[in-house]
Structure 1
């Protein structure tokens, strides 16, 4: 395992950051009129413009050197080959096999499951799969959490047009999430997908049991459960015990946050159709091919990763904001929070030692243009510098004349420009003087309207918002995470940090459900437990 801080490139980047970390990007454009072209990459219908980053050619050379010195390309090839790159769990991380074409010599059983999903989706969408009262399915509820929810939810919300059963997603164990969803639905026409690899996820099973009872209360018999419930799982025994007959399996080398391409995407296929699901896989595979074959200098996911490493590790920008300028992609930041922070939120290296560098920054964000009227004030004038990804899907030509489309695109480009350029103080002073301001009033107004600029950002342009391009975008982010994990020397495919809280929650469930003496807890938790039990006893 390679300690990145001991590489020549890391040490050179440390020196460059001290010397040029505050260089103004506007000045880089002044010196290099071709910068916008040279710092732009395209792959699978996605364009990455990273020219607004505080990166010059010397920095770019050393960042590329990190890729070579840290063995990124060798690790990439091992992942694609199905090697056990998930070292702490001794398994592959082979999500790329899920979207490989059928002719690809990777894993035959993937295509068997894919065919079974397509056949089932066609049966449901054609009205051939019917509920206990003989009605066709009109609504599909996916019950899952984390990777069993966020990816399919993002895809369906981004692409659903009404041609197919309406998709609904329930993840939270808060009763209002499921109860409010079911209140809008008819049990006779509802199909529930219980998505849990182990079929033991506490939150998911609690919701599944309530949904099962809702079906029975709605007139179904115990033998009708199989008409309204299917499972995405690898635990046949538990699925059968629940009363579910139709199960779609997947494998231990499919990590939750990388699983939307597997049977976990069944809700996508039901709502959008097999052709759309295949286009989603095709877009991801196109980005896989680019990531695997493009040289480092032209490799879009690699530069998405390297720009993040430069900002996080050398400019100390530990907050990263993602702003999609598309209402249907409002959940992109939520999806990326799990993908990036669960993957690389580690402080232990792949060989079990403390990390020597900062790993993943805080990922957050929301949809533009709404964000401009919320936290963009802080982005422009706050004392915390944040780097951003702007995501801009383009519309087709027949929508270009829509006033709202023009506003959407203009606002996205304007925010990125304003964050980089800021406002010229001298020009602002002249403007305010022309308005009649002078003395203290001029000084105060001048100070209040200063924009420092030099806030770095990427612009990711999608040729359009469809399945192919959305698949390519998500795959690009997956590979970004992988590259950063290799350079930081962490395992991007385990998530042991999730386990402790879940184990402790199990003990607290027992304490909340019994009247006896609770198990040992810290003083704060014990007091809160007592407070809850007192309230419930009233």
Structure 2
């Protein structure tokens, strides 16, 4: 992996000049000049069951060629090989990054420290398969002999968002088990879980790689306390509590039985961990076969990313387009718009994956960065988004690139609902790109406004267009397609991190708040009078102390 300031590359400097040349060219002109633009800027995947259209972007062939020169200059090809080969590319934590090995469907060994780690991966996957089969079939029962009906996953961040998103996205594949997610340390959420679940028919998965995460362990201990009060027998924990962690000793100390521990590895980043035992709640919900199809979709995208030339490499092209807007047009945000209700949590999931990975301001050389790194990601499902914030995207002053995602085949064909949904999908990408232009009227005085009232109102109905978007259109979103989609964004984020010259796989930015929080907690719990913080923080704590119990 190279340590190159992207702004000092020859291609970056040429890109700046190229941007000045085309920054005012409208998408209308780009489509008029190239009658084959869609064909030239669209790609198929998975036997033409997935279409990716990048033609509605403010780019030309030259733009793509210059951006491709950039990835060659920063050594992206070698960086991809380094990741797949288990090189220690998470340098600040001295770890490899091998979430791709978790979905390896080939017989190809993955060697780490002279050991093929695929044996361990398959062993854990097989343990997950057997356990999920026993729970789903009713062989595994609670302490009173009742079948398991409810699964509660206790985790936060990557141990929560990924599985929760997948469970929702594959809602139509869920079985009879009810799966709940407890992440927030807010006691309101904890109480909701306690109220909803009968301990006799509920299992709890404590998901924490370090088994030290404050929110997760606090929630787990609270649930465990309620469990003991209810059942009155410590031995019954074996039937109901499980750990998913790399810290085996921590889980044992907590009281989890050895056979109830599902192993993680330190080379699995939290936000890339749904493919591992962290995905146990997914497997319990959709079964092993569908979980394996999820892995297969991700694996096929891995192979596409690893082996396809950059000119046709979808994650690379999407990453480059994102950098084009972020660093040359200075668009600070990107919006993800799934026109598929079950993907309602997907924007939130990608938000975490991207912003926790690439929200960095120190480069790999240890220098302060003066270019733009990770963009702000956000989004909502269509058509809800159209009645929420599309006004700003269409007619506001911000340039906001959009990713539109849809499934042609609906899970439920009711009347013409899905046809209306997709007509909105197509209409919005068209309207954003091409706009609508009324005749311009120059008013000379306020009196003219009354005379030319209709023309005056037309000004407010004017759509400039030239708003960029990508379209990702699936024949059907099933487990395989979802795996493909998630891995596509993972590799897009990786590619951008390589170009930004940052370490994408650490997250030191969350640590300071944790340290201060722990210090504050000890002072609050022991009611210390001398706080020693700034006047604002001290004032907030003083107000808290007025009403605390």
TM range (shorter): over 0.9
Which stretches of structure 1, 4 residues or longer, exceed 3 Å deviation after superposition?
398-402
Q: Structure 1-normalised TM-score?
A: 0.95
Aligned to 1:83: 87
Aligned to 1:421: 434
Alignment partner of 1:196 out of 208, 211, 226 = 208
1:47 CA displacement: 2.3
1:519 CA displacement: 3.4
| 1:157–1:328 Cα contact (<8 Å) kept | yes
Secondary structure of the corresponding residue to residue 472 of structure 2? strand
Matches for 1:427-506 after TM superposition, within 5 Å:
439-506=451-518
1:92 matched to 2:92? no
Q: Output the CA distance in 2 between the equivalents of 1:440 and 1:210.
A: 69
Root-mean-square deviation (Å): 1.6
1:516 CA displacement: 2.3
1:404 matched to 2:408? no
Q: Output the CA distance in 2 between the equivalents of 1:238 and 1:102.
A: 33
Q: Output the CA distance in 2 between the equivalents of 1:368 and 1:188.
A: 40
Aligned to 1:48: 52
| 1:64–1:297 Cα contact (<8 Å) kept | yes
1:528 CA displacement: 0.4
Q: Output the CA distance in 2 between the equivalents of 1:528 and 1:392.
A: 46
1:359 CA displacement: 0.3
Aligned to 1:316: 330
Matches for 1:93-492 after TM superposition, within 5 Å:
93-101=97-105, 103-106=107-110, 107=117, 108-161=119-172, 162-245=174-257, 246-395=260-409, 402-426=415-439, 439-492=451-504
1:331-361 Cα deviation digits (max 9, x unpaired): 1111011100000000011121112411011
Give aligned pairs, total.
528
Q: Output the CA distance in 2 between the equivalents of 1:446 and 1:266.
A: 56
| 1:249–1:263 Cα contact (<8 Å) kept | yes
| 2:171–2:342 Cα contact (<8 Å) kept | no
1:239 CA displacement: 1.0
1:198 CA displacement: 1.0
| 2:163–2:279 Cα contact (<8 Å) kept | yes
1:70 matched to 2:74? yes
Greater CA deviation, 513-522 or 50-59? 513-522
Aligned to 2:445: none
Aligned to 2:444: none
1:460 CA displacement: 1.1
| 2:438–2:459 Cα contact (<8 Å) kept | no
Aligned to 1:30: 32
Q: Output the CA distance in 1 between the equivalents of 2:451 and 2:331.
A: 37
Aligned to 1:434: none
1:385 CA displacement: 1.6
Aligned to 1:433: none
Q: Output the CA distance in 2 between the equivalents of 1:65 and 1:516.
A: 59
Aligned to 2:9: 7
Secondary structure of the corresponding residue to residue 168 of structure 1? strand
1:108-164 Cα deviation digits (max 9, x unpaired): 211111111111111111111111111111111111000001110010011133414
Q: Output the CA distance in 2 between the equivalents of 1:443 and 1:321.
A: 33
Q: Output the CA distance in 2 between the equivalents of 1:526 and 1:401.
A: 57
Q: Output the CA distance in 1 between the equivalents of 2:61 and 2:197.
A: 57
Q: Structure 2-normalised TM-score?
A: 0.94
1:273-323 Cα deviation digits (max 9, x unpaired): 000110000000000000011111110100110110111011111111111
1:221 CA displacement: 1.6
In the superposition, relative to structure 1, how do residues 233 and 401 fare at CA in structure 2: closer, same or farther (>3 Å)?
Answer: closer
| 1:50–1:457 Cα contact (<8 Å) kept | yes
| 1:92–1:253 Cα contact (<8 Å) kept | yes
1:429-448 Cα deviation digits (max 9, x unpaired): 9xxxxxxx983422331121
1:511-538 Cα deviation digits (max 9, x unpaired): 221122243211110110111011115x
Greater CA deviation, 400-409 or 17-26? 400-409
In the superposition, relative to structure 1, how do residues 29 and 438 fare at CA in structure 2: closer, same or farther (>3 Å)?
Answer: farther
1:183 CA displacement: 1.2
